[in-house]
Amino acid sequence: MSKSGKLFVISGPSGAGKGSLWKIAVKGLEMKYSVSCTTRQPRAGELNGREYNFMSREDFQKNINAGEFLEYANVHGEFYGTLKSEVLNILNSGHNVLLEIDVQGALNVKSQIPEAILIFIAPPSIEELRKRLTGRNTEKPEIIELRLKNALHEMDLKNKYDFVIINDNINIAAEKLRKIFID
Ligand code: 5GP
């Protein structure tokens, strides 16, 4: 696989603030975000092709069968996947690429592309994570409980990452992330 850009992979529990963090950290840097595919429903304000390529389970399965995914995983009961074409097109055009994917996906990518730089964004505590997830008001209580349970499992795998950033103060955390992108 010929590549010239760098591949950054960001993971962390839902509600750890990964999305807000990398959006601050990449400001002014040359970095392209790889849009994943998912079978989950769009949230208010999300656009097809921007946050995700939203698709039916049937279409997702077709992509699996056709070998289109670099990785895919079942996260919180829905499917999420990274298209090989999306990542390779960006890397081959010499640009850095950023994936925001779950721990299973990140470790899968690392096993295929060892040069990938894995960054784990951790919440200051599980209590803080619960507060953030509840405050977001986008998920039902049972979904929040499921996400918290998964968060504990994800936190267990953080030592497999190249970098761990605790998102306590967003500006300090974003500066640390930016440094990793630049180095
Ligand atoms: P959300 O539904 O909150 O947007 O995302 C739920 C989880 O799915 C997050 O941890 C997110 O990083 C992960 N995710 C998003 N896209 C992908 C992907 O393409 N592959 C994998 N493995 N996980 C993904």
Q: Which tens digit of pLDDT belongs to each residue from 151-169?
A: 999 999 999 999 999 999 9
Name the token pair of 152: 């504990």
The CA 79 to ligand 1 mean position distance, Å, reads 8
Residue 140 has pLDDT above 90, yes or no: no
Write the CA distances from 119 to 77, 131, 133, 156, 180, integer angstroms. Answer: 24, 23, 21, 14, 9
The CA 100 to ligand 1 mean position distance, Å, reads 7
13 lines ligand 1 (CB under 6 A): no
Residues in contact with 75: Cβ distance below 8 Å, sequence separation at least 6, in sequence order: 102, 104, 150
pLDDT digits (tens, 9 = 90+) for 9-65: 999 998 889 999 999 999 999 999 999 999 999 999 999 999 999 999 999 999 999
Residue nearest to atom 21 of ligand 1 (CA): 101
The CA 115 to ligand 1 mean position distance, Å, reads 21
